[in-house]
Chains A and B, each alone.
Chain A
Amino acid sequence: MEIAREHFCMHCNQPIADEARYCNHCGVLQAVPDIDDALQKQQRLVILSIFFGVHLAICLVSNFTNLTRGLVPLLIADGALSVFTLVYAILFWKELKYLFRWKGFSIVKIASYASTAVIGAIAVNYAVKWLNRTIFDTESYYYFAFSHLKYAKLITVVTVALQPAIFEELAFRGVMQEGLNKITDSRQAIFISAFLFTLLHMSFISFFWLMPFALWLGYIRLKEKTIWYGMIIHFCFNTTACFLEFFELNLF
C-alpha cells in the first residue's frame, strides 16, 4: 500500500513526497498539473454557463412571450427547471453532498434567521407595493394565477414559496456557488451566484433588495456549510409575501 502511494522524481526516479513541486534529491521541477487545472476550470465554466443559459432561456420565454400563459404551461416550465436542477445536483452529488449535512443544527439559529427573513419580507413587500404603484402603475398578485382552483392558497404557497425555496437554493447556493468556488475564490463565487440569481428574476427594480438577499443567503451557506438554513430563510421570506397577499385580499 505504501508503495502505491509513493511518487517518484521524473528526473532521478528517487521517491519524493506527493505534494513536492521540486525533487528534494536533484532539484528538478516536477510536472505541475497546471494545464489540467486550467482546462478543468474552462470546462467547469462551460458547464455552469449551460446551467445558467437553460435557466435564463426558460425565464426569458416565460416572462416575455405568451407561450407559458396559463397554469399548465407555467407548471411545466417550473417543473422542467426543477428537473434540470436535480440532474445537475445528481451529476455533482459528490461535491454537493456536504451541503446536505447539518452539523451545527441549532433551533436558535433557525428561529433568528427565520424571523429576520419574515421582517425583511414585510419591509420589502411594502416598499415594492409602493414602488409598483408610483413608478410602474401596476399591481400584481401571485394568487390570481390560481384563484379559480380548489386549494388556491395552498397551491400559491407551494408554487411561490416551497418550490423556489428548494430548487432555487439547490441551483444557486448549491450547484452554482459550489461550481464557482472551483473557478475563483469563495467571495467572488458568492457575488456571481447572487448576481445571476437576481438577474433571473427579470426585474431590474428588484435588484436593490434581491441582490442583498442573495448575498446574505450565499454568505450563510458559506459560513454554515449547509444549504438547509438558506432553504428555510427562502421559504419564510416567500411564504410571508404570500400571506401578506392573502391578508390584503381579505382571504381569511
Chain B
Amino acid sequence: MTESPPLPVVETTAVCGHCAEKINETDFFCQACGFPVKGSDAEKKIFAYRQGFKKADDNADLNMLQKKIKTAGTTLYVLSGIFFLYVIALFFINKTSGNIATPVTYIVISFIFLLLGFGASKKPVASIISGLVLYILLLAQATIVNPASLLNGAFFKVIIIGYLIKGLRSALEAEKIKNQLSKGWK
C-alpha cells in the first residue's frame, strides 16, 4: 500500500467573501449578493461602499415603518384605556342596576386590547390584525343593535381604524425587509 485511497469528490468549498453563500469556480459574481468574487480590490471596495448605502437605506425604511407600528400599538393601548374608563363610568352612572355581565365583558375587552398592545412590539402583524378585527366587530355589533351609534364619534373611529391599518401595512412591509436582510438569497 503505497497510495492512500482517493478522497471523495467535494462539490465546491469556495464561499462568497461577502455573504458566505456557496459559489461555483466559474462565477465572476456571487449569485446571492452580487459580490465581485474575481474582481480587483478596488471593485470589491466599491461594492462594500454601495452595500453600506443600501443597508443605511433599508434601516431608514425600517425606522419609519417601526414608528407607524408603534403608533398602532399605542392605539391599541388607548382602546384598552377607553374601555376601562367606560367600565368605571358605568359603575358611577348606574351603581344600582346590579348587572355585572356588561362591565365584565368590557373589562375582558379592555384586557384583550392591553395584551394586543403588548404584543404589537414583538409580533406586530398578529397583534394589529387581531386588534383591528376586534374593533370592527365591536363597531358592527353596536351598529346592529343601534344603527345610529355608528355616527357617534365617527371622526375618532376613522382615525383609530386608519392608524391600525397603517400599522398593519407597515408591519407587513417591515417583515418583508427583515426577511430580505436576514436571508439575502431567494
Interface residues of A (CB under 8 A from B): 16-17, 19-29, 34, 37-38, 41, 52, 56-57, 60-61, 64-65, 135-137, 183-185, 187-188, 191-192, 195-196, 199, 202, 204-205, 207-208
Which residues 10-41 of B have a CB within 8 angstroms of A? Answer: 23-24, 26-34, 36
Nearest-neighbor residue (CB-CB) of A59 within chain B: B137
Sampled A-B contacts (9; CB under 8 Å): A22-B34, A28-B34, A34-B176, A41-B172, A184-B125, A191-B130, A199-B134, A204-B109, A207-B112
- B101 is an interface residue with CB less than 8 A from chain A: yes
Query: From residue B114, how far is it (CB to closest CB) to chain A in Å?
Result: 13
User: A166–B29 Cα gap in the complex (Å)?
Assistant: 53
What number of residue pairs across chains A and B have CB atoms under 8 A from each other? 103
Q: Are A26 and B145 in contact (CB under 8 A)?
A: no
Q: Are B30 and A184 in contact (CB under 8 A)?
A: no
Interface residues of B (CB under 8 A from A): 23-24, 26-34, 36, 100-101, 104-105, 108-109, 112, 123, 125-126, 129-130, 133-134, 137, 140-141, 144-145, 172-173, 175-176, 184-186
A61 proximity list for chain B (CB < 8 A): 144
User: A191–B122 Cα gap in the complex (Å)?
Assistant: 13
Tell which of B30, B130, B144, B185 touches A64, judged by Cβ atoms closer than 8 Å: B144
Tell which of A22, A34, A199 touches B133, judged by Cβ atoms closer than 8 Å: A199
Task: Please give 7 more A-B residue pairs, beta carbons under 8 A apart, in addition to A21-B34, A56-B140.
Answer: A21-B33, A21-B185, A21-B186, A26-B28, A65-B144, A185-B175, A204-B108
Tell which of A22, A34, A60, A185 touches B32, judged by Cβ atoms closer than 8 Å: A22
Q: Are B104 and A135 in contact (CB under 8 A)?
A: yes
Q: Are A60 and B100 in contact (CB under 8 A)?
A: no
User: A60–B104 Cα gap in the complex (Å)?
Assistant: 20
A28 proximity list for chain B (CB < 8 A): 34
A195 proximity list for chain B (CB < 8 A): 126, 129-130, 133-134
- CB-CB under 8 A for A192 and B144, given A22-B32, A135-B101, A204-B109: no
- CB-CB under 8 A for A27 and B130, given A64-B141, A136-B101: no
Query: From residue B47, how far is it (CB to closest CB) to chain A in Å?
Result: 9
User: A46–B54 Cα gap in the complex (Å)?
Assistant: 32
Q: Are A24 and B141 in contact (CB under 8 A)?
A: no
Query: From residue A13, how far is it (CB to closest CB) to chain B in Å?
Result: 15
Query: From residue B30, how far is it (CB to closest CB) to chain A in Å?
Result: 6
Tell which of A23, A199, A202, A208 touches B29, judged by Cβ atoms closer than 8 Å: A23
Tell which of A19, A24, A136, A204 touches B186, judged by Cβ atoms closer than 8 Å: A19
Query: From residue B76, how far is it (CB to closest CB) to chain A in Å?
Result: 13
A41 proximity list for chain B (CB < 8 A): 172
Q: Are A64 and B29 in contact (CB under 8 A)?
A: no
Q: Are A192 and B129 in contact (CB under 8 A)?
A: yes
A57 proximity list for chain B (CB < 8 A): 140
Q: Are A24 and B140 in contact (CB under 8 A)?
A: no
- CB-CB under 8 A for A24 and B29, given A56-B137, A60-B144, A64-B141: yes
User: A72–B181 Cα gap in the complex (Å)?
Assistant: 55
